A and B are shown apart, each in its own frame.
Chain A
Amino acid sequence: MGRGIALAFLYRLLSLLRVQDALSELFSRCGRVQSVDICDKPGTGEKKEKLTSKFFNRKTVTGFQVAYVVFRKPAAVQAAKALSREGPLLISTESHPVKTGISKWIASYAASVVDQEELKAEVDAYMQDYDKKIAEEEAKAAKEEGVPDEEGWVKVTRKGRKPGLPRTEAANLRVLEREKQKKARKELLNFYAWQHRETKREHIAQLRKKFEEDKQRIALMRAQRKFRPY
């Protein structure tokens, strides 16, 4: 079975079905078309996951798209390759017009209006499933609470008689900070002569650094004529 890439870059069009039909009709002059797949970009044809919801997480593809035209016989691909010499192929024809411009925008405005009943039904169904899932999970967690696994470990959760610390980044940082403070409290500052010297040296080095920075900044400003009043 041969596969031909017809590099038909398509714009986002409202009715993909219609474009698929149009494409298969267009290419049928080269040989029997088996199927037409439309994807976002060229690549190995991974099957798109099926959309579960009519309202949520709808990815709208924008800009150019690619279609793969699959022929029954490999010979048709050769014929298709020769097509490009005849000039561009038109998808939108008198008999099969593709909506663009004003008519498309009006249609997509109309499509953006949701059916309340349908939405309500979908939300209700989803939430029922979700509640059920959560209830199951909770029941499972409650059952496993305090029960050691095969290797004898007991999972510490936030629930139960002995709740553990939450395992979040913030909590971790808090603990680390506390440790650091504890350590700092124990340390003696400027106790040894060398410590004293060190701090002094650091202080002067810092002042010098700032002085140098200021000097550079002023030089820069002078170069930019920042001091010229008019």
Chain B
Amino acid sequence: REGRSSGTPDPKLPRNRLGKRPPGAGRPLSPSDPIEELLKEVTLKETKKKKIDAFLHEISSLLSAIPETPETELTDQAWLPKGVKVPFLQVPFNVKGRFRFVPPTELKVVGSYLLGTCIKPEINVDMAVTMPREIFQDKDNLNQRYHRKRALYLAHIAHHVSKKKLFGSVKFAYMNSNHLKPILLLRPQGKDEKMVTVRLHACPAPGLFKPIRFYPSKNNVRTAWFMEQSAPKEATEPPTPHYNNSILCDTVLLSHLQFLSSAATDFPGMKDGLALLKVWLNQRQLSKGLGSFSGFLASMLVAYLLMKRKIVKMMSGYQVLRSTLQFLATTDLSVTGISLVKDTDASLPVLDDFHQAFEVVFVDPSGLVNLCADMTASKYHQVQFEAKRSMEILDDRMVDGFQVLLMTAKPMLRTFDHVFHLKHVSKLQGACKKMQLLNELMDRGGNYVAAALPFIVSLLARGLARRALLVAHSLPEIPEWPIDAEPPKHKDVGPLMFGLLFVPEFAASLLEKGPQADHPEALDFRTFWGEKSELRRFQDGSICEAVVWEADTVCQKRLIPEQIIKHLLKLHADIPESSVCYMGALLESVIRTGQEVSGTGEEAMVSVVCSYDDLSRKLWNLKGLPLTVTAVQGVHPALRYTDVFPPIPMKPIYSSYNRIRTKHLLLPLEEKPCPAYIAPLKIVCHMEGSGQWPQDKEAIKRIKAAFHLQLAELLQQQYQLVCRPAVTHTDVYKDGYVFRLQVAYHRETLILKEVVTPEGMLKYQDTEESRQLELETLHLPYLTSSLHGLQQQHPVFGSTCRLAKRWVSAQLLSDNISEECVDLLVAFLFLHPAPFTPPSSPQVGFLRLLDLLATFDWKNNPLIVNLNAGLTGEQAIKNRFVAARSRLPVMFIATPKDQWSSMWTQEQPSAQILQRLLVLASESLRAVEEQLMDPFNSQDVKMVFRPPLEFYDVLIHLNPTQIPRHLESVDRPQKSFSRGVLKNSTSVKILFPVVDYDPVQCYLQELRDAFSDLALFFYDKHGGEVIAVLWKPLSFQPQPFKVSSMKGRMVTTLNSELVCVPNVEAILEDFEVLGEGLVKSVEARTEKWTI
């Protein structure tokens, strides 16, 4: 059994000589396994069943006592009391036929309740109400007469039962949101109202209709009637398979029950398996709405597999789930349908007839009903895709299959790379006209959504064939309504949502290459793409039809599918662009660079990496160094594509600076706005090990400094690069970037660790200094190169990281959680995407990150990020984690090279910060998903990037002129300042620009140095205008007087004792004094703290 995660394997226990097991070691040794626990959670309790049975009993006695009504014309509905409306859209209204109510001949519970496969959260009990034969006439099969009688029948019942005290609510709903099939919902009174919903289905007396009338090729809705024309024009009427199917469904309710119960006898695994399947479907949002893969369908499928001996009655619930998924994964019912008919009957329609009429085919035991009639091919392909993915997960030993398959919800927003809404479904009416779908419209009883949807989806699927793995749509769903309200219209399904899952290699390609101009298919291509199609000559000399989309930057290219969708919908379905609300890249605006509309920084990142590659080549080839360079490794986030705002080339404008010509450098001027921030791009330059290196830590420092001086000199001489050496590094100005070279010697960490014991033994002990050096020269380069590699496999990895880090920073937490930690969290999403696929858009990646933060159980689990697939088993890490939990960081991230220490989360975040992060994540996720789900909203998704400030004690407002990264703020400032640089230009011979100078960071450093034991300081380093201060409550308690603890405190007397308390007024004044020129005002929120 794969996919089971916990539970002890049955141990082969030794027996003693008497053949008896030792006491206490009898089977079953394994405590309950997760699947059994899950089943316990979802199945109905016996006590509830008893209550439900009693309720059902009362209903049936009530229904048989409903009085008859006199016969009237179908259109004469005056007899119906005011408190109830016919639950049917009677369009066109006029129809022949007469109706009267006669109490039902039979009442029978059908469906999952009797089979015991009905599961929480929605307990539905289906009850078939057989309408007596005498209320029907000939030709009731035609023109919705049967449907209308059925609706009137239910309306009368509804009116009658609504007066009874027995029910908490009496409502109508459409069965599976199919508006031809209203049902009546009854719920018990009082606190049991949520317990159960009894659904009344009206069905015809057996043998009322001749089955042959409803074969898929037959017509039962006359065009003249539907179009309200007086005389029939056409001789041949089109087939109405969906209409026929809707009547047939009612005739087989009872026989399906018998069929399923015979399958379920002596088969306990079926019950469990169906419960699991239903949970699986629910988590994937596949089981509700028009054309859903309902629980009933799942039961029939299991019965089919039993019939075909793919499932045997010996199987457990888990095996049933597995076999069913296996079947779904490998069978395409939209191409090769299946049938439950046992003995082939020549008179029955064959599978091909069904394929002609329906997109997905699964024929019931009677051979007449297509159980998948309303399902679109796209929906089935989605089910199939999910099944395939699930089978892969079950076969993967590294994944906790139970958790991923059954416990994780897959809402569309988090599943698909891009989603878009069709805002106004009423536009589909026009689409039906444009696509000439009158026959389909008639067949679907005027439901233009259902009629147009399959065509729209297949249109899009063709247009995106190479780019999208899957084009899926949400299922139209209509909520229940009170019996005195008019039935919902077709447009009441609300906006339709579509989801795209991309093939990362092709999703953003600019070109749609068509057939050669002289080929016959060329015409087809031209009609499909319309004006966009043009003839082009290709490199191989061929002249082909082709469509070329316009996009300059990576972020525009990611939106080519939007262009395609809008174009095709306009061209073929008359749906205007304004009705399509595309949610592909709404969040990306927060990582746009600069003011120019151009891109989201991917291009800038590439050019940084190019410049870095060139520099490292130059370093390798440097002549005249006493030792050779063995490796050049980048450690700056830009060099792994995850820097929130990648550096852009800059050239200083001298007039804005204080020029120090003697030293060849520039200094900021006090009276000018702070210069633009130039981040030094850190690079580690490993030097060859040699006997020439001293083995003493002080001497090594000197030698490294000498190397920094020499590197600067040689780079200047040999490559004319302007350099500025310092003790610990050399800054190199190249292509408008500043690289910060750090020389490293691999034995230095070891030398720093050396300790000689009193006995003269040499020991290695970690020190703060050695740990720091190891992190910088060993671990960070390794992480950087691993993540650089990940970016090569997943082109949106970097942008997702940047979005994530932008959010962390916007929530003022970037100083409390390391960048590397966030990078690893995002890497986890790409390396362990199950049950999803790796993200192909930054937005979906970001949503999943928020979900991960909000739901991951950090207390009890390590997060294992299998970088470079370096781990083969995770159990060892988990065991060790559990054993040492209390001593480990609150957020534990393990990687193949760092299995036990979680080095990037060791110091941060603290437990409180983590807690805050989780709260913010779940709130942000809720808010942003709400925005993305509602196409009528303003879509101000930046909302989750604006931090709540109410909860801080003091706000220090900063002067924008002195904030060098002011332009990076979430809401871009209206006016900006000249910051003394020319962007996107470089120079060779310049005075060295001002590097790594950020007054706000200097200020924060001073604040923390002075007041860290009294307060916490929070700031958005990307252009925040406010520093938020939170007092530490503990340090506000009066403390006994001590000379050493007088920092920031004053002496006062409390109960005639000398104590010291924080001198808040002085501290606030200090805030201003320390930040002279930077601080605009200090806002103390006195109501939040008192002394």
Which listed segment binds B: A19-27, A28-36, A123-131? Answer: A123-131
B699 to A55, Cβ gap below 8 A? no
- Chain A residue nearest in CB terms to B36: A227
Q: Do B727 and A169 touch (CB < 8 A)?
A: no
Query: Is A63 in contact with B1010, judged by CB distance below 8 angstroms?
Result: yes
Kindly identify which residue among B282, B725, B762, B1048 contacts A64, using a CB–CB cutoff of 8 Å. Answer: B1048
The 8 closest A-B pairs by CB, nearest first: A101-B1076, A102-B1077, A62-B1009, A63-B1009, A227-B37, A168-B762, A64-B1047, A101-B1077
Given the contacts A64-B1010, A109-B668, A230-B409, A102 and B8 also touching, CB distance less than 8 Å: no
Q: Which residues of B contact A (CB under 8 A)?
A: 6-8, 11, 13-14, 22, 24-25, 29-32, 34, 37-38, 40-42, 121, 279, 282-283, 406-407, 409, 660, 663, 665, 667-670, 674, 694, 696, 698-699, 701-703, 705-706, 709, 712, 724-727, 760-764, 962, 994, 997, 999, 1002-1003, 1005-1006, 1009-1012, 1043-1044, 1046-1048, 1066, 1070, 1073-1079
Given A55-B705, A63-B1009, A169-B11 contact (CB < 8 Å): no
With known contacts A101-B1077, A106-B668, A204–B761 Cβ distance under 8 A: no
CA A229 to CA B440, docked complex, whole Å: 39
Residues on B with C-beta less than 8 A from A41 are 1044
Residues of A within 8 A of B279 (CB): 229
Known: A113-B724, A120-B709. A168 touches B670 (CB 8 A): no
Chain B CB within 8 A of A222 CB: yes
A102-B999, A229-B283 as given contacts; A218 in contact with B37, CB under 8 Å: yes
Residues in A neighbouring B726, C-beta threshold 8 A: 112-114
A195 close to B (CB within 8 Å): no
Do A55 and B282 touch across chains, with their CB atoms under 8 A apart?
A: no
Chain A binding surface SS class:
helix
Contacts of B283 in A (CB 8 A): 229-230
Given contacts A113-B663, A119-B709, A167-B761, contact A63 B1047 (CB under 8 A): yes
CB pair A102–B761 under 8 Å, yes or no, is: no
How far apart are the CA atoms of A210 and B699 in the complex, in Å?
54
A-B contacts, 7 listed (Cβ < 8 Å): A64-B1047, A105-B1003, A115-B663, A126-B699, A170-B764, A214-B8, A226-B407
Known: A109-B997, A123-B705. A130 touches B694 (CB 8 A): yes
Measured CA separation A218–B31 after assembly (Å): 8
CB distance from A90 to the nearest CB of B (A): 10
Q: Which residue of A lies closest to B1049 (CB)?
A: A9
| Bound form: Cα–Cα A211–B30 in Å | 7
Contact A105 B1002 (CB under 8 A): yes
B contact residues around A226 at 8 Å (CB): 407
User: Shortest Cβ distance from A228 into chain B, in angstroms?
Assistant: 5
- Evaluate contact between A116 and B8: CB separation under 8 angstroms: no
- Asked if B1043 and A7 make an inter-chain contact with CB atoms under 8 angstroms apart, the answer reads yes
* Interface pair A208/B24, CB less than 8 Å apart: yes
Task: Scan residues 118-153 of chain A and give those whose CB is less than 8 A from a CB of chain B.
Answer: 119-120, 123-124, 126-127, 130, 134
A63, A64, A170, most chain B CB atoms within 10 A: A63
Whole-angstrom CA separation of A114 from B33 in the bound complex:
67
Residues of chain B with a CB closer than 8 A to A166's CB: 762
Bound together, the chains give a CA A1 to CA B175 distance in angstroms of 100
Chain A residues, CB < 8 A from B668: 106, 109
Contacts of B705 in A (CB 8 A): 55-56, 119, 123
Task: Tell me if B8 and A56 are in contact (CB < 8 A).
Answer: no
Q: Closest B-chain residue to A197, C-beta based?
A: B16
Minimum CB–CB distance for B820 against chain A, Å:
25
Interface: A3 (CB within 8 A) = no
Chain A residues with Cβ below 8 Å from B1010 are 11, 62-64
Closest chain-B Cβ to A155's Cβ sits at a distance in Å of 11
Residue of A nearest to B1066 (CB): A88
Known contacts A41-B1044, A103-B670, A109-B997, then 18 further A-B pairs from the complex at CB < 8 Å, ordered by chain A residue? A9-B1046, A12-B1009, A55-B727, A64-B1048, A100-B1075, A102-B1076, A102-B1078, A113-B663, A113-B724, A113-B726, A114-B726, A127-B699, A166-B762, A172-B761, A200-B14, A204-B13, A211-B30, A229-B407
Chain A positions 215 through 230: 1 when the CB is less than 8 Å from some CB of chain B, otherwise 0: 1011001100011111
Query: Are B41 and A229 in contact (CB-based, < 8 A)?
Result: yes
Give Cα A112–Cα B725 distance, bound, in whole angstroms: 11
Q: Does A42 make an interface contact (CB < 8 A)?
A: yes
Q: Which residues of A contact B1005 (CB under 8 A)?
A: 62
| B712 nearest in chain A by CB position | A116
Q: How far is the CB of A176 from chain B (nearest CB, A)?
A: 13
Find chain A residues with CB under 8 A from B406 CB: 229
Task: Tell me which of B14, B407, B763 contacts A168 (CB under 8 A).
Answer: B763
Q: What residues on B are CB-neighbors of A62 within 8 Å?
A: 1005-1006, 1009-1010
Query: For B962, what are the chain A residues with a Cβ–Cβ distance below 8 Å?
Result: 102
Which B residues touch A207, using CB under 8 A?
Answer: 8, 11, 13, 25, 29
CA distance A164 to B1009 in the complex (A): 50
- Is A82 an interface position by the 8 A CB rule? no
Interface size class of chain A, counting residues whose CB lies under 8 Å from the partner chain: 35 or more
| A100 CA to B1010 CA, complexed, in Å | 14
User: A123: which B residues are within 8 A, CB to CB?
Assistant: 702-703, 705-706, 709
A73 within 8 A of B: no
Q: For B40, B674, B702, B1074, which residue has the most chain A Cβ atoms within 10 angstroms?
A: B702
What is the CB-to-nearest-CB distance from A49 to chain B, in angstroms, rounded to a whole number?
A: 15
CB within 8 Å: A-B pair count: 176
Cβ contacts under 8 Å, A114 to chain B:
725-727
A-chain residues with CB within 8 Å of residue B670 when the two chains form the complex:
102-103, 106
- Expressed in whole angstroms, the minimum distance between the Cβ of B957 and any Cβ of chain A is 15
What residue in chain A is nearest B1079 (Cβ atoms)?
A101
Give the interface centre of B409, B761, B962, B1048 by most chain A CB atoms within 10 Å: B761
B724 — which chain A residues lie within 8 A by C-beta?
113
B390 to chain A, nearest CB (A): 15
A110 adjacent to chain B (CB < 8 Å): yes
- Bound-state Cα–Cα, A168 to B613, Å: 41
Bound-state CA distance A108–B668 (Å) is 11
Using CB atoms, name the residue of chain A closest to B662.
A115
Known: A109-B668, A113-B663. A208 touches B25 (CB 8 A): yes
The answer for the CA separation of A124 and B705 in the assembled complex, in Å, is 10
User: A228 near B41 (CB under 8 angstroms)?
Assistant: yes
> A203 near B: Cβ within 8 Å?
yes
Q: What's the Cα separation between A201 and B605 when bound, in Å?
A: 63
For the complex formed, measure the closest distance between the CB of A120 and the CB atoms of chain B, giving whole angstroms.
6
Contact between A211 and B282, CB atoms less than 8 A apart: no
A105 touching B1047 in the complex, CB below 8 Å, given contacts A119-B705, A120-B709, A169-B763 = no
Closest to A167 in B: B761
Residues of A within 8 A of B663 (CB): 113, 115
Whether A56 touches B14, Cβ cut-off 8 Å, given contacts A102-B999, A120-B709, is no
**Chain B neighbourhood of A12, CB < 8 A:** 1006, 1009
- A119 lies within 8 A of B727 (CB): yes
Q: Are B37 and A42 in contact (CB under 8 A)?
A: no
Residues of B within 8 A of A208 (CB): 24-25
Cα distance A217–B7 when bound, in Å? 10
**Closest beta carbon of chain B to A149's beta carbon, Å:** 15
Q: Which residues of A contact B1073 (CB under 8 A)?
A: 100-101
Report the minimal beta-carbon distance from A39 to chain B, rounded to whole angstroms: 12
Chain A nearest CB from B326 CB (Å) reads: 22
A108 to B1002, CA, bound (A): 10
A108: chain B residues at CB < 8 Å are 1002
Instruction: Considering the complex, give the chain B residue whose CB is closest to the CB of A169.
Output: B763
Which of B694, B712, B1009 is the most central at the interface, judged by chain A CB atoms within 10 Å of its CB? B1009
B6 touches A217 (CB 8 A): yes
The answer to whether residues A229 and B282 also contact, given A114-B726, A116-B725 and a CB cut-off of 8 A, is yes
Contact flags A45-63 to B (C-beta < 8 A → 1, else 0): 0000000000111000011
- Write the nearest CB–CB distance from A6 to chain B, whole angstroms: 12
Please give, as numbers and ranges, the residues of chain A lying within 8 Å of B11 by CB-CB distance: 207
Q: A207-B29, A214-B6, A228-B41 known; A56 and B701 CB under 8 Å?
A: yes
Assembled-state Cα–Cα distance A90/B7 (Å) = 71
Contact partner of B694 (CB less than 8 A), chosen from A88, A134, A218, is: A134
